[in-house]
Chains A and B, each alone.
Chain A
Amino acid sequence: MNDNIFEIFGEITLTDEQKKKIYENIVKNKTSSKKERGKTNFSYIKYASMWVAVFLLCFCVKNFYDMHNRTTKIYIGERNNIISEEKIKKELSEKEALKENSEEIVNEQKNDKQIFNHIILGSPQSEETQGADSIIVENEKTDENDKTPQTEEAFSDFSASYNSSESIEENKNASSSGGGAARIKSLSFEELMNNEKFGEYFPATFINGYSFSGAALKDDYAVAYYNSNFHSVTVTVNPLTDNSLYGKISIEREDYNGKYFNVPTEKYLISYFVSDKNCKNEDVYVMLHSAEYFKK
C-alpha cells in the first residue's frame, strides 16, 4: 500500500472563512457556536420538560411520604380541636346550670357518708394539682388562645362550692396527704355518659391525645370506665416520692369496667394511656375511688 495515499488527509482543511470565524470566536472567548449555527435538532423544550417532570416526581414522592407520616397526627389534632370546640360550647351553654346544680350535688353528698369518690383531673407535673383543694381541669389544647376562661370559671365556681361543704372538710381531715378530693356518686360508664353534670365536671382530659393524669390519694383505687369501641386502656400509677413503687393495670376489651388498681401510698400521680388511636375523648373515664367504695 502506497504511503502517499495518506496525503489525502491534507485535503481536509477549513476554508478561510471558517478559519476566520473560528478565530473571531476564540478571540471573543466564545466557548461554543452551536446556537449561532443552529445545527442541532435537540429540542430544549424536551430538556426543560424532562427536568420539570423530575421535579414533579420528587414533589409527589415527598408529599406522599409527608402525608403518610402525618396522617395520624393530623387526625388527632383535628379530632381534639373538634372535641374541644364542642366541649366549649357545651360548657358555655350550661355555665349557669352548673352553678345552680353544684349546690344540689353537695347537699346530696353530705348525706352519703360512706362513699368517697375522689376525682381530680389536672396536670401531673403541676404542684397545684397535687395539693390543691380545688378541681383543676386543663384543656388538652396547647394553644394559649384556645383556652376557655369560661370553663375554668365554671370549675372554679364548682370547686369553691365544694370546698365550702362539710364533706370536703371531713375528707380533708381523713386524708393525711392533704390532697383535696371531690366526692361524687359512683356511676357506671353509661350513667357517667348520660350524666350531664358528671360529664361537665369531669371530662377525661387527654394529654398528647391519649394520656390523662391526676392526683391520687392513699388507698384510692384507679378504675377505668370506657366503651368497648376500642381495645384496651392501660392505667399507670406513678409515685411522686418513691420511684420503686408503681402500679399498672391493663384493661382489655373483655374487662369492661372491671379492672382497678389500689394506690399504695400517698401523693401518687395517676395516668392512663389508651392504646387504641381510634378511641374518642368521651370514651374513657378514669376515676379514683376510695377504698370504702369497694367495701360497700
Chain B
Amino acid sequence: MGTLSTANEKEFARVYEKYVDSVYRVCLMLLKNTSDAQDAVQNVFIKLINKKEDFENENHLKAWLITVAKNECKNVLKHWFFSQRSDSSQLENITYSDKNDSLINEIFELPDKYKLPLYLYYYEGYSTQETAEILGIKHSTLRTHLKKGREKLKKILEVNDGE
C-alpha cells in the first residue's frame, strides 16, 4: 500500500470513510468530548496525509490510525489548554439510540485502561496480542485489564438490572 497524500485524494477519501468512525470512537472514549474528539480525528488524518512511510496492508494502516489516535488524545489531555476548560467531560452530543444510552455511559465511565482494550478486543476484533501491541502494553497486562474491565462492567450492569 502506497503513501497517502493530497495528490491521491480518492484513496485518502476511501481510507477516511472506512476508518473515521473507529478513530472517532477511540478519541471519544479517551476525551469524552465530541468537539475534542472531532479535532483529534482531524489531526490524526492530517498526520496520515503527512506520513511518508508506506503501510504494509490495511490492518497495518488501521492499527497505525488507532495508535496515533490514542497518542493524540493523550497529548490533548496533557496539554495545559485542556486543563483550563470547564467542559472537559461532555457526552451530550454523542450519537446513539436512547435505549442504549445508559449502557454507553456505563462503558464510558470505565477507566481508560479498561475500556480501550475492551473496545479493541471485543468490537474491533483484534487478538489480545495485537491489542497489546497497539496499546503498547505487555500481553499479560492486557489480559489483566480485559479481565478486570469485564468484571467492573458486569458489576455495573448487575446493579443497573437490579434497579
Contact = CB atoms under 8 A, between A and B. Distances in A.
A42 interface: yes
B39 interface: yes
Contacts of B6: 27
B9 A27 contact: yes
Q: Is the interface of B mostly helix, strand, loop or mixed?
A: helix
A15 interface: yes
A188 interface: no
Contact of A33 (B42, B85, B154, B157): B42
Interface stretch (A16-24, A87-95, A105-113, A177-185): A16-24
A13 interface: yes
Given A6-B118, A12-B95, A19 B123 contact: no
Interface in B2-36: 6, 9, 13, 16-17, 20-21, 24-25, 28, 35
B20 A14 contact: yes
Contacts of A41: 85-87
Contact of B153 (A1, A11, A14, A40): A1
Contacts of B154: 1
A39 interface: yes
A3 B123 CA distance: 9
Contacts of A45: none
Contacts of B85: 40-42
Interface of A: 1, 3, 5-15, 18-19, 22-23, 25-27, 29-34, 37, 39-42
Interface of B: 6, 9, 13, 16-17, 20-21, 24-25, 28, 35, 38-39, 41-43, 45-46, 49, 81, 84-87, 94-97, 100, 103-104, 107, 118-119, 122-123, 150, 153-154, 157
